[in-house]
Amino acid sequence: MRIFFYEFVTGGGFFELEDAPLPEGSLLSEGHAMWSAFYEDLLRVPRVRPISMRDWRLGPVEFEGVFVDGPGPHRETFARLAKTSDAAMLIAPEFDLHLYQCAHEVERCECRLLSPSSHFIRLAGDKTASSEALRIKGVRVPRGQLLEMDSPLPADFNYPAILKPNDGTGSLFLQIIDSHNAKQPAGISMRLEEQIRGMPCSASFLCCGDQEPIPLPPMEQLFSDNGAFRYHGGRRILDEQLVTRATRLGRSALNALPLTLGYVGFDIVLGDRLNGSEDHIIEVNPRLTTSYIGLCRIATTNLAEAMLEIAFGHVPSVEFSDKSVEFLADGTIL
C-alpha cells in the first residue's frame, strides 16, 4: 500500500509563497518534528510504502521514499503523488487556505484522506466561524469578534485581549494587546478575543466518522513566559481530573462540528474551577499537531497504523502506557 505523506513547510510548500522564502523558525522546527514522528510510524506499518516530498534547500533526509522538490511544478508533483497513492496524510498551515487547498486537491485526485476532509478544514480553519459553530451548540469559547482588515480596534472590548489572525496557525502573529490603541498587522484578517487564563493544553482525537471518536492523552502546552506566546513544547497531563475535563470538553466540541476522519486537536484552557465551568475551547486544529511527538512515544499502538485502519473503514483499538513524557517543539524528548 502506497501512502503519500505531505508536510507543507518541509515538503516544498514555501515554493508556492511569494518570493519562495526559505522555511525557518518555529514553523520549520515543528513541521520537521511532526513529519519525522509520523513518517517513522508509517515505516513500521507492515505492507506500507510511504512517500513524501522535501524542499531541496533543507538538505537530505535519511528516509527512503522522499522526493526532493525544487522551484518548478510543485503542484504537479503533489497531484501526481496523490493520484498514484492509496491514501494521503496532510499537514499544512491553515493560513491562506493552504491546508484546505491541499485536502481539496487530494479529494480531486480521488485519493483517500487519512486526515480531515476539506469540508471540515474549511470550517475549522476559520477561527471566527468555528468559534461561532461551537458557541451555538453550547460549547464554551472565548468571546471574540472578526475585525475589518486594517480597521481600528473597538474601544468597548475588554482589554487586555488576544489579537490573532483569523486563519492563523500556532502562535504566528498572535499577541496580547492592552488597549484599543494597538495596531493590527497590515493586510491580515484578524480576530480579537478575550484572554482566558488557566492551563493551556491540547486534547486530541482520532475521528472515526459516525463512530465514537478515540480520545488521546491530553498534553499541557508550554509557552514562553514573556507574553510572546512562543511555543516551547508539551508534557503529558497526569492529573486524572484534568484529563477528564480536557477530554470531555474536546468531545463536546467534536459533537458540535461536522463528522470527519483522522486526527483533530483542540487548543484548550483549563480554568481554576474544579468543576470545569471556566474551561474553554480556544481553537480547532484540523490536522496533526505537535502533541503527536509526545503521543507516539507513550502509545503502545502504532498511531499511524490506527489512522490507516480508520480511513479504510475500521475502528482500531488504541492503547497507551502510563508513562509520562515531555518534549520540545523541535521533537526533542526530555
pLDDT greater than 80 at residue 186? no
2-118, which class in CATH? alpha beta
Element (H or E) spanning 247, and its range?
helix 240-255
Cβ contacts of 53 within 8 Å, gap of 6 or more: 6, 11, 12, 66, 67, 68, 69, 77, 78, 81
Residue 282 has a pLDDT of 95
Grid cell for residue 305? 497504523
Element (H or E) spanning 232, and its range?
strand 231-236
3-state SS of 75-95 is HHHHHHHHHCCCEEEEECCCH
Residue 71 has a pLDDT of 66
How far is Cα of residue 70 from the mean position of the Cα atoms in its chain?
A: 25
Residue 234 has a pLDDT of 93
Residue 227 has a pLDDT of 59
Tens digit of each residue's pLDDT (9 = 90 or more) over 277-330: 999 999 999 999 999 999 999 999 999 999 999 999 999 999 999 999 999 988
The mean pLDDT value for 132-161 works out to 91
Residue with the larger pLDDT of the pair 65 and 121: 121
Q: Quick one: pLDDT band at residue 47, thresholds 50, 70, 90?
A: very high
Q: Quick one: pLDDT band at residue 171, thresholds 50, 70, 90?
A: low
Q: Which residues, in sequence order, are bridge partners of residue 234?
A: 221, 327
Domain ranges across the chain:
2-118, 124-138+196-328, 143-195
Lowest mean pLDDT: which of 4-8, 10-14, 33-37, 223-227? 223-227
pLDDT greater than 80 at residue 172? no
Topology annotation, domain 124-138+196-328? D-amino Acid Aminotransferase; Chain A, domain 1 (3.30.470)
Tens digit of each residue's pLDDT (9 = 90 or more) over 272-290: 999 999 999 999 999 999 9
